[in-house]
Every structure is written in structure tokens, then in C-alpha cells.
Amino acid sequence: MSETLVASRTPGTDTPVPGASGASRFWRRLRARPSALVAAAVVALLVLVALAAPLLTAVEGQDPTTYHPSLIDSARGGVPLGSFGGIGADHWLGVEPQTGRDLFARLVYGARVSLGVALAATALQVVLGVAIGVGAALGNRWVDQLLSRATDIIVAMPLMVMSLALLAIVPESFPRTVLVTFVIGLIGWGNIAKIVRAQTLTLKGLDYVSAARLSGWGRWRIARRELLPGLAAPVITYAALLVPSNISVEAALSFLGVGVKPPTPSWGQMLTAADVWYQAAPQYLLLPAGALFLTVLALTVLGDGVRTALDPRAASRLRVGTGRRREAKAGETAHSESDKPHKEGNA
């Protein structure tokens, strides 16, 4: 334990302290990475597009669900009329083959679904993960055993397969978007819980927490006032990586036809139908694929940037031969988990 204390007091390698100074240092470090800045700008733009979807489609004068049979050539199997898949002043990105629905409208409304589901599911995962992780670390031996084994099992179960299976037993009438959010959120909390448990155990042994305990603070008050702030950095780091992963899972489920169902537009669902139309209307395939790629890439780069800004050791570890490595190693236990990218999302 003394090693951890030494490491955390070494200038430049300390665990970020919450509060004003921590936040401003975080922003300074994040700004120092151009890639993270660009990614943050892209993410901000995407969020803006998602929020302003009704406004944007109103400007265009279209909506995502209206069929336009007059815009497709039913004699040729539903190919959009006009050049480049029906791109024009009325339909900025053309129309969907077979239905004639406006592609721009479906794309921007798809962003709402993607980001909405991913963010809500991440929030659920974080709440569950923190609650279970802290509970395991602070509970007695049996509580810890129970929660830790449950965490191990939930981590072992493949997220894709489990969410796929769970979608089978819920009646069709249940709103699909909410359902997908809950399924992803209820299954994907395992790694957060592991990280939080490890970090809480580390914090629990630190002097200031012992001091609080010795001065007669209750368990709950210590958890809220002394432990939770110390958990912020690893939780934010991991949550930032969960968002792109959740976006991929939602897209995958919708791609398989068990996630978000029509008429609600979703990028994954658009891709399912698109592959046979790639010659007649290539943008039908390229737009959702590109949007998905850009979103996940931007969020991943931003997540990496956030991690480096919150945990400089992650970056300095990769610099060969720095004298800091030894010290960094001592305090790394709680952070090493967050170095592993959450891989399920690329499934």
C-alpha cells in the first residue's frame, strides 16, 4: 500500500483529483492532443445533428417515414429514378430503393437512435457497474463473493449473443428502442464493476479514507464523500470507451433484424437492405456504413484522448525507457483494467 501512496504523490503521475483543478488539468491535457480535439469536434457535430434532426429535415422539407412511390422505378424492381439514386434539391442524399423514403432524413434520424441508445445504455451500465463494484468492495466477504462471481459471469457471457437471446423472450409489443437500450445496459456493466471494485479497494486503504473512518463516519457517508470522487477518473475513462462499443452493438442487432425495427430508422437496419442496391444507389450502402464508421472512430479516438488526459501513465508507459516506469507500475493496479479496450463492440 505504501507503494501506491508514493506513486500517487509523484508529480505528474498522480491520480487526478476531482474538482476545479482536476477538471482544468483534464481540459489542458485533452487540448494538447490534436486527434482528440478533432474527434471531439466530430462527436459534437454528430450530437448536434442528432438533436437537430427534426429541424434539418424540416429545412429539407422531408421526413424519414413517408413513402414516395413516384420517385422509384417499379418496373426495374424499385430503383430510384434520376441520377445518383435520386439526389436533387428535394432529396439531398437521394431516396431509398423500393420505398422512396428520403435518405437524408433517415440518416439523421438514425443518428438519434444510434447515439440515444448508446448513451442511455452507457448510463445504465455505469450506474449498475458503480453500484455493484462499490457494493462488492465495501460489503462483507459474502456480499463480495456473490457480487464478484456474478460480475465474472456477466463478463464471460458474450454481449452480442446474450442480448440477441434476450430479445427473443420479450413480446413484440414492447417499444424496441427502449428494449435494445435496456438489454445492452443490463448486460454490459461487468467490466465497469470490476474496475470500480479494484479502485475502491485501493482507495479504501488510503490514509484519508482511514482518517474518515477513524473519525466515526458511516460507511455510506465515506462511500459518497470520499470514494465516489476518486472513482470518477477510471469510470469516465471506461465509459468513454463503452459508448462506441454500444453503438456497434445496437447497429449489429438492428443489422440482424432483431434490434430497432422499421419504420424507426437505424443505421444497422439500413445496411441490411442496402447490399443488393450498391450499383443502382451506392449511397444507400455508403451513407449508413460511413456514418457508423465515422461515429465509432471519432468516439474511440476521443475515448483514447480522455484516457490519456485522465491517466498520463497510460501514455508515458508507452514511451520507451522513461525513468517513471517503475513508479508508475506501483500504482497501476486500478488502471490496468482500463487499458484493455472493450472489444465486444466490434462484434
| Contacts (CB under 8 A) with other proteins, residues 61-90 | none
Per-residue exposure over 62-81, b if at least 16 CB sit within 10 Å of its own CB, e if not: bebeeebeebbeeeeebbbb
Please report which residue ranges of 171-227 form alpha helices under DSSP H: 176-187, 190-204, 207-214, 219-222
Q: Which residues contact 302 (CB under 8 A, 6 or more apart)?
A: 36, 39, 40, 43, 240
Residue 161 as a binder of other proteins (CB under 8 A): the answer is yes
The region of 62-70, 78-86, 216-224, 255-263 touching other proteins under the rule CB under 8 A is 255-263
Minimum separation from the CB atom of position 97 to other proteins (A): 15
Minimum separation from the CB atom of position 153 to other proteins (A): 6
Return the residue of 271, 287, 302, 309 that touches other proteins, per CB under 8 A: 271
- How many angstroms separate the Cα of 30 from the Cα of each of 26, 204, 239? 6, 29, 16
Minimum separation from the CB atom of position 60 to other proteins (A): 26
Using left for φ > 0, alpha for ψ between -120 and 50, and beta otherwise, residue 14 falls in: beta
Instruction: Tell me: cis bond preceding 69? Omega within 30 of 0 counts.
Output: no
CA-to-CA distance for 32 and 22, rounded, in angstroms?
A: 15
Residue 238 as a binder of other proteins (CB under 8 A): the answer is no
Contact code string over 272-301 relative to other proteins, x by CB under 8 A: --xx--xx-----x---x--xx--xx--xx
Return the residue of 5, 6, 211, 347 that touches other proteins, per CB under 8 A: 347
Residue 38 as a binder of other proteins (CB under 8 A): the answer is no
Per the DSSP assignment, residues forming a β-bridge with 95 are 102
**Residue placing its CB nearer to other proteins in the complex, 9 or 149:** 149
**Residue placing its CB nearer to other proteins in the complex, 130 or 296:** 296
| Amino acid sitting at position 40 | A
Residue 330 as a binder of other proteins (CB under 8 A): the answer is no
Residue 102 as a binder of other proteins (CB under 8 A): the answer is no
The region of 42-50, 90-98, 110-118, 153-161 touching other proteins under the rule CB under 8 A is 153-161
Minimum separation from the CB atom of position 85 to other proteins (A): 15
CA-to-CA distance for 337 and 268, rounded, in angstroms?
A: 30
The region of 106-114, 130-138, 210-218, 268-276 touching other proteins under the rule CB under 8 A is 268-276
CA-to-CA distance for 92 and 322, rounded, in angstroms?
A: 53
Q: Which residues bind other proteins (CB under 8 A)?
A: 149, 152-153, 156-162, 164-169, 171, 244, 248, 251-252, 255-258, 268, 271, 274-275, 278-279, 285, 289, 292-293, 296-297, 300-301, 317-318, 320-322, 325, 339-341, 343-344, 346-347
